[in-house]
C-alpha cells in the first residue's frame, strides 16, 4: 500500500498549474459578472433609468425593481456556491467560496429588504396610501406574496443564525440544519418573481434567462450534492476499517475502499463525510484528510466539538460511508519552492500532516509548527513523530493559552516574541519556502499578517480556513 506522492513542482509544472488555476478562476469570475451585468441590462431595457430620472414614486419603484433583480441573482449565485459546482470550487477554492458565500448572502438579504421597503413606499406614494397598509395589501392580495413573505422570513433566519455570535451558541449540527432552509427560502421566492415580477416576464429573453438560471441551479444541486456523491460512494465501496483515540479529545477514523486513486484526492484536501450508522447519518461532516490518501485507504481525524464529531468514536468497523469531494486547493499543486513551512492549530494540523506525508523533500527541508492549548489534546502526534524520525521533519510544538500581547497566534509563554522575526528565524530563506497555514480563522489571520511582515511572497502562502 503506497501513498500517492507528489514531487516538488518544477518551474514548468508550476507555471502550467498556475495557468489552469487562473483559467478556472477567470471562468468563474466571468460567470458571476456576466449574470450581474445581464440583470442590470434587463432593468435598463425595462425603463429603469427613465423611472429613476422621473423622481417620486417612479424612482422608488425603479430602484426597488433593481434591488429585487440583483438580490435574486445573488440568491441564485449563493445556491450555486452551496452546490459545490466544479467551476466555482476550482476557480475560487474553499476559502474563496466561503468568503463569497457570506458576502453574497449578506448583500442578497440586504437588497431583498431594500426591495421590499422601496416597492412598498413607491406603491404607497403612487396610491396615496399608508405604507403599512400597502405592505399588508401586498402580502394578502398579490399572487405569490405569502410565499415570498415566508421566503424572506427563512432567509432572515439563516442570516441571523450564521452570524459569528449566534454560531458560537449553536451546535454545528443545529446550525447546518437551519442553514439548509436557505434552499427552501430560494424556492419559495420563485412564484412571486415569475407571477408578478415585470422584469422577469417583460420579454421572452428575460423569461428564458430566469427560467434557465433557476433550472440550471436546481440541476446543479441535484447533480453535485446528490447524484455524484451517491454514484461515487457506491463505486468505491468505502467502509470504516477502524476507529482509534487521537489525543484526549479526538479520534482518527480509517476507511478502506477500492480504486480510491480514481478520486484524484490530494493530501491537504477535504471531503464531506456521512457515516451510515443510524439516525443522524444525513448530517455531513467536513473533515480534511489527516494522512496521505492511498488507492485503498483514507483517514480523517477530528476533535470532539459537537454531537456529530462525538459520534465518530462510536463508529463500528464495516459502517458504510458516503462522501462528497474531494474539495479544497491547499495541495502540493501550488508548491514552487524546495522547502516547506507548515503552521497549524488544533484540528488544522491534520491536513498539514497529510501534506507532509504526501510531498517529497529532503531531510531538514520541512518544518511544522503546531499550536494546541495543551500537549495532551494534540492530534496526529504519532504520525508527526514518525515524520520527524523517518523523514527529517522539524517539529516545533507551541502548546499553551493564546498570547494576550505580541503575536496572538503564539502561546502566552512566547508573548514577548515578534511573530514576523520568529518566522524569519525559522525560515530565513523566505523565497525558497512554501508556507501552508490551517486553523481557526481569527488565529490564521494573525499568522498571515506576520507572514506578510516577514516578507513571504503571497504566491508562496497556501491557506485553508478550518471553518465552514
User: Which of 190-204, 242-256, 323-337: highest mean pLDDT?
Assistant: 242-256
Q: Could you tell me which CATH class the domain 332-465 is placed in?
A: alpha beta
Is residue 32 within 8 A of residue 88, CB to CB? The reply is no
DSSP 376: G
pLDDT digits (tens, 9 = 90+) for 429-448: 888 899 999 998 889 999 99
* Grid cell 422570513 in the structure block, residue: 153
- Residue ranges per domain, the chain? 17-226, 237-327, 332-465
Nearest to 262 by CA among 281, 243, 237: 237
pLDDT of residue 114: 93
pLDDT of residue 199: 65
Residues 6 or more apart whose Cβ sits within 8 Å of residue 174: none
| Helix, strand, coil percent values for the chain (each to nearest 5) | 60, 15, 25
Q: Indicate the pLDDT class of residue 1, thresholds 50, 70 and 90.
A: very low
pLDDT digits (tens, 9 = 90+) for 25-79: 888 888 888 888 888 888 888 788 888 888 889 899 889 888 988 888 888 888 8
CATH 1.20.120.1770 fits 17-226, yes or no: yes
Q: What count of residues does the chain have?
A: 468
Is residue 333 within 8 A of residue 265, CB to CB? The reply is no
Cα distance between residue 87 and residue 84, in whole Å: 8
Task: Take residue 252 and report the three cell numbers written for it.
Answer: 482518527
The pLDDT of 345-350, averaged and rounded, is: 92
Cα distance between residue 386 and residue 427, in whole Å: 22
Task: Give the residue with greater pLDDT, 295 vs 88.
Answer: 295
Cα distance between residue 88 and residue 372, in whole Å: 33
pLDDT of residue 144: 74
Percent of the chain exceeding pLDDT 70 equals 89
How many Cβ atoms from other residues are within 10 Å of residue 212's Cβ? Answer: 10
Q: What global pTM score does this model have?
A: 0.77
pLDDT digits (tens, 9 = 90+) for 11-30: 445 567 667 777 888 888 88
DSSP string, 330-341: -SGGG--SSEEE
Average pLDDT, the chain: 84
How many Cβ atoms from other residues are within 10 Å of residue 458's Cβ? Answer: 8
User: Which of 146-155, 273-282, 372-381: highest mean pLDDT?
Assistant: 372-381
pLDDT of residue 90: 80
- Report whether pLDDT(258) > 80: yes
- Report whether pLDDT(210) > 70: yes
Of the listed ranges 144-158, 249-263, 431-445, the one predicted with least confidence:
144-158
Helix residue ranges, H only, 270-369: 307-311, 349-358
Cα distance between residue 86 and residue 88, in whole Å: 5
Distance from the first to the final alpha carbon of the chain? 32
Task: Give the residue with greater pLDDT, 180 vs 28.
Answer: 28
What CATH number is given for 237-327 in this structure? 2.40.30.10
pLDDT digits (tens, 9 = 90+) for 317-340: 999 999 998 988 888 887 888 899
Q: Indicate the pLDDT class of residue 363, thresholds 50, 70 and 90.
A: very high
Amino acid at each position: 500500500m503506497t501513498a500517492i506522492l507528489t514531487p516538488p513542482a518544477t518551474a514548468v509544472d508550476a507555471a502550467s498549474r498556475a495557468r489552469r488555476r487562473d483559467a478556472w478562476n477567470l471562468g468563474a469570475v466571468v460567470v458571476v459578472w456576466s449574470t450581474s451585468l445581464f440583470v442590470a441590462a434587463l432593468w435598463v431595457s425595462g425603463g429603469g433609468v427613465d423611472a429613476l430620472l422621473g423622481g417620486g414614486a417612479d424612482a422608488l419603484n425603479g430602484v426597488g425593481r433593481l434591488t429585487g433583480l440583483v438580490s435574486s441573482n445573488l440568491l441564485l449565485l449563493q445556491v450555486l456556491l452551496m452546490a459545490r459546482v466544479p467551476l466555482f470550487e476550482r476557480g475560487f477554492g474553499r476559502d474563496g467560496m466561503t468568503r463569497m458565500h457570506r458576502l453574497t448572502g449578506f448583500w442578497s438579504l440586504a437588497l431583498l429588504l431594500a426591495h421590499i421597503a422601496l416597492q412598498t413606499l413607491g406603491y404607497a406614494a403612487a396610491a396615496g396610501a399608508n405604507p403599512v397598509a400597502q405592505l399588508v395589501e401586498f402580502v394578502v392580495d398579490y399572487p405569490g406574496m405569502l410565499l415570498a413573505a415566508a421566503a424572506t422570513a427563512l432567509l432572515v433566519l439563516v442570516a441571523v443564525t450564521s452570524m459569528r455570535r449566534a454560531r458560537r451558541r449553536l451546535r454545528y449540527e443545529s446550525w447546518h440544519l437551519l442553514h439548509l432552509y436557505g434552499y427552501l427560502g430560494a424556492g419559495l421566492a420563485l412564484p412571486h418573481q415569475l407571477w408578478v415580477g415585470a422584469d422577469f416576464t417583460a420579454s421572452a429573453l428575460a423569461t428564458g434567462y430566469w427560467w434557465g438560471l433557476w433550472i440550471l441551479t436546481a440541476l446543479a444541486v441535484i447533480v453535485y450534492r446528490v447524484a455524484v456523491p451517491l454514484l461515487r460512494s457506491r463505486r468505491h465501496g468505502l467502509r470504516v476499517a477502524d476507529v482509534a483515540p487521537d489525543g484526549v479529545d479526538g479520534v482518527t477514523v480509517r476507511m478502506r475502499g477500492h480504486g480510491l486513486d480514481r478520486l484524484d484526492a490530494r493530501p491537504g484536501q477535504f471531503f464531506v463525510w456521512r457515516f451510515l450508522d443510524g439516525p443522524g447519518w444525513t448530517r455531513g461532516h467536513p473533515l480534511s484528510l489527516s494522512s496521505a490518501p492511498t488507492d485503498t485507504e483514507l483517514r480523517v481525524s477530528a476533535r470532539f466539538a459537537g454531537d456529530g464529531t462525538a459520534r465518530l468514536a462510536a463508529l463500528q468497523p464495516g459502517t458504510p460511508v458516503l462522501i462528497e469531494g474531494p474539495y479544497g486547493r491547499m495541495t502540493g499543486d501550488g508548491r514552487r519552492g524546495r522547502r516547506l513551512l507548515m503552521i497549524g492549530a488544533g484540528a488544522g494540523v491534520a491536513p498539514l500532516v497529510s501534506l507532509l506525508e504526501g510531498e517529497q523533500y529532503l531531510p531538514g527541508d520541512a518544518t511544522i509548527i503546531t499550536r494546541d492549548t495543551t500537549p495532551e489534546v494534540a492530534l496526529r502526534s504519532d504520525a508527526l513523530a514518525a515524520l520527524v524520525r523517518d523523514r527529517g521533519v522539524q517539529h516545533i510544538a507551541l502548546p499553551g493559552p493564546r498570547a494576550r500581547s505580541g503575536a496572538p497566534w503564539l502561546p502566552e509563554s512566547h508573548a514577548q516574541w515578534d511573530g514576523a522575526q520568529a518566522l524569519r528565524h525559522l525560515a530565513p530563506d523566505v523565497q525558497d519556502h512554501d508556507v501552508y497555514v490551517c486553523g481557526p480563522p481569527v488565529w490564521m489571520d494573525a499568522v498571515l499578517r506576520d507572514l506578510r511582515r516577514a516578507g513571504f511572497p503571497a504566491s508562496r502562502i497556501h491557506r485553508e480556513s478550518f471553518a465552514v
